Amino acid sequence: MEEITKPKRKFDFTFTKRKKIYILVGMFALLAVTGYLNFTLNQGTAPTGGGGFASSQSFFTTFHAQRADERAANIAILTSMSAADSGYSAEIRANAAQQLLTTLAAIQYENTTEGLIKAQDFDDAIVMKTNGNINVVVKSDADKDKQKEVVPNILKVIRDNFATATFGAFDIERVTVSFMA
């Protein structure tokens, strides 16, 4: 009897954990680049039907949604890398776990600070903590004089909330507050 052999596949579609991680990282990078391009190219310049510009509310809504998507992808990657069965060395897993904890602490800080700023009678706020810098964008229809009056209150919220987080020393020079109508 003649033995039947299966033909060899031209491509091998099995993925190791390492390949899966590389694919996830690549997809996250593409998501981040897409979000960045969308943010920079459409930053309040999309015309509306009334001949004006798109509302800042759509900017805030879009930014919050994109940031949530990027964070979810980042957390998924770091979680899979820090898993015991990920195939990475103990050092890489520990580093990924530390990055995950830092990311979660930054998310908590940003969300809490945004809520405290909104509680000061602002419509919306975005707080971004990156590389030791804190950038704040506040939605406010107030005039320039009123905005100058409330900046110290916003800085106090940022400083007080920063003190409860575990980010090290607070440097007021690394904080930027912007207003958007």
The pLDDT profile of the chain, 181 residues, written as one tens digit per residue, is 566 666 555 555 566 777 778 777 877 777 777 777 777 766 654 444 443 345 566 888 889 999 999 999 988 888 888 888 878 888 988 888 898 888 888 888 889 999 999 998 888 999 988 877 888 999 988 888 888 888 998 888 888 877 666 566 677 788 888 888 7
Contacts of 117-124 with C-beta under 8 Å, sequence gap 24+, read 117/154, 117/157, 120/150, 120/153, 120/154, 120/157, 123/57, 124/56, 124/57, 124/60
Give the CATH architecture of domain 17-180.
Orthogonal Bundle (1.10)
Please, are residues 152 and 175 in contact by the beta-carbon 8 Å criterion?
A: no
Please, are residues 124 and 139 in contact by the beta-carbon 8 Å criterion?
A: yes
pTM exceeding the 0.85 threshold for the entire prediction: no
How far is residue 29 CA from its own chain's centroid? 13
